[in-house]
């Protein structure tokens, strides 16, 4: 059958879009964390060193690399080690998330918003993640386009499954260690909610939707544990986004922001949250309901 899920769904919840919402919040509030200057220097410099290669790659090579993926022929595609490319791009995204988490409180530091070029490196690395997301997505799409008889994105390839499972496990650990539970998020600031959203969005944008597409097309052929785990992740995302929307509405109503600041937040963070919430609800009545129905028939 033809799956209703596609890569456009994934791209709509890219990490880049979510993190730009976070940056918009910082710009209008000039949020900063007051800590010891030496400690901040060490944190910023270490994160800069980690992010500098991604920043440089974005400026010099990212556009060419993305175009080269989009322009692959069957012959040039076959010459690639697709899984190795997926693995390396996932590793780079992990590095970005780790260091974005470090920099998020200090990017507007005590040196007028840019500590020795930290802002430029941070911004370019964020943009690099968007490109790396798209490279992975375009590789998966290109494979299906060049090989129409190949009706899987991920679940036919054990190596690919492992790489994406490891990536999601990394983010599960990151979220568990760095993102408070919902009761504590009720006390979080709006910029923290924006960053939590960004991390969660990336958690599901790479892996979950392509896995759902595979399950939708091959429900009865997929291991039951994989189906249940994937549906559970989808349902968790749905609950998480609704929680963030609720937190946003409470925070914005009682915030001290002026009307212009509230407008910026409402047209960035709230729009993104609403879009993802709406998309997930639409999937529930189309793809997810079909998967659940067929899954019961398969048992």
Q: pLDDT per residue over 12-50, tens digit each?
A: 444 445 454 544 544 444 444 444 566 667 877 888 888
> Between residues 180 and 279, which one has the greater pLDDT?
279
- List the beta strands (DSSP E) in the chain: none
Determine, yes or no, domain membership for 237.
yes
Q: Tokens standing for 284?
A: 């529930």
pLDDT at residue 156 tops 80: yes
How would DSSP label each residue in 161-206? HHHHHHHHHHHHHHHHHHS--HHHHTTS-HHHHHHHHHHHHHHHHT
- 120-151: per-residue pLDDT in tens? 777 777 778 778 888 888 899 899 999 999 89
- What was the pLDDT predicted at 160? 94
Gap between the Cα atoms of 197 and 19, Å rounded: 8
Domain count, the chain: 1
Could you tell me what percent of the chain has a pLDDT over 70? 70
Q: What is the mean pLDDT of residues 265-271?
A: 75
Q: Closest Cα to residue 189, out of 256, 96, 263, 109?
A: 256
Contact 216, 291 (CB under 8 A): yes
- Within 10 angstroms of residue 51's Cβ, the number of other Cβ atoms is 25
Q: Tokens standing for 234?
A: 């989808």
Contact residues for 187 (Cβ-Cβ < 8 A; gap 6+) = none
Determine, yes or no, domain membership for 1.
no
Q: Tokens standing for 27?
A: 């710009």
Gap between the Cα atoms of 114 and 109, Å rounded: 7
Could you tell me what percent of the chain has a pLDDT over 90? 22
Q: Closest Cα to residue 189, out of 29, 12, 61, 3?
A: 29
What is the pLDDT confidence band of residue 221, given thresholds at 50, 70 and 90?
A: very high
DSSP 221: G
> Between residues 105 and 253, which one has the greater pLDDT?
253
Determine, yes or no, domain membership for 199.
yes
Q: Is 247 exposed, middle or buried (0-12, 13-18, 19+ CB in 10 A)?
A: buried
Determine, yes or no, domain membership for 27.
yes
Determine, yes or no, domain membership for 146.
yes
- List the beta strands (DSSP E) in 11-159: none
What's the number of CA atoms in the CB half-sphere (13 Å) around residue 6? 6
Q: Closest Cα to residue 134, out of 71, 204, 65, 203?
A: 65
- What was the pLDDT predicted at 112? 41
Q: Closest Cα to residue 215, out of 277, 137, 279, 293?
A: 293
Q: Tokens standing for 138?
A: 């375009």
Determine, yes or no, domain membership for 2.
no
- What was the pLDDT predicted at 83? 97
Contact 50, 246 (CB under 8 A): no
- Between the CA atoms of 173, 218, 216 and 76, what dihedral angle is there, to the nearest 10 degrees? 70
Measure Cα distances from 138 to 35, 71, 86, 129, 209 in Å. 42, 10, 11, 14, 14
Contact residues for 294 (Cβ-Cβ < 8 A; gap 6+) = 219, 220
What is the pLDDT confidence band of residue 84, given thresholds at 50, 70 and 90?
A: very high
Please give the mean pLDDT across all residues of the chain. 77
Structural domain including 85 reads: 7-298
């Amino acid at each position: 059958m033809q799956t209703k899920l596609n890569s456009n769904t994934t791209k709509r919840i890219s990490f880049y879009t979510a993190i730009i919402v976070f940056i918009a919040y910082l710009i209008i509030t000039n949020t900063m964390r007051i800590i010891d200057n030496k400690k901040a220097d060490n944190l910023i410099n270490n994160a800069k060193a980690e992010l500098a290669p991604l920043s440089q790659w974005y400026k010099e090579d990212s556009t060419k690399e993305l175009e080269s993926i989009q322009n692959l022929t069957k012959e040039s595609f076959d010459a690639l080690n697709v899984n190795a490319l997926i693995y390396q791009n996932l590793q780079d995204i992990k590095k970005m998330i780790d260091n974005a988490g470090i920099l998020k409180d200090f990017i507007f530091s005590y040196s007028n918003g840019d500590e020795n070029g930290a802002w430029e490196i941070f911004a370019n690395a964020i943009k690099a993640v968007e490109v790396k997301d798209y490279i992975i997505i375009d590789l998966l799409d290109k494979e299906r386009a060049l090989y129409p008889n190949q009706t899987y994105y991920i679940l036919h390839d054990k190596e690919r499954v492992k790489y994406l499972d490891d990536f999601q496990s990394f983010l599960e650990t990151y979220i568990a260690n760095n993102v408070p539970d919902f009761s504590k998020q009720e006390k979080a600031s709006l910029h923290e909610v924006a960053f939590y959203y960004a991390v969660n969005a990336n958690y599901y944008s790479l892996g979950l939707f392509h896995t759902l597409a595979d399950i939708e097309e091959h429900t009865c052929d997929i291991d039951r544990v994989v189906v249940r785990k994937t549906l559970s992740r989808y349902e968790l995302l749905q609950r998480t986004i609704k929680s963030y929307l609720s937190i946003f509405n409470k925070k914005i109503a009682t915030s001290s922001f002026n009307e212009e600041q509230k407008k910026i937040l409402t047209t960035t963070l709230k729009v993104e949250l609403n879009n993802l919430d709406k998309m997930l609800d639409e999937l529930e009545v189309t793809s997810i309901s079909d998967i659940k129905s067929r899954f019961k028939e398969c048992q």
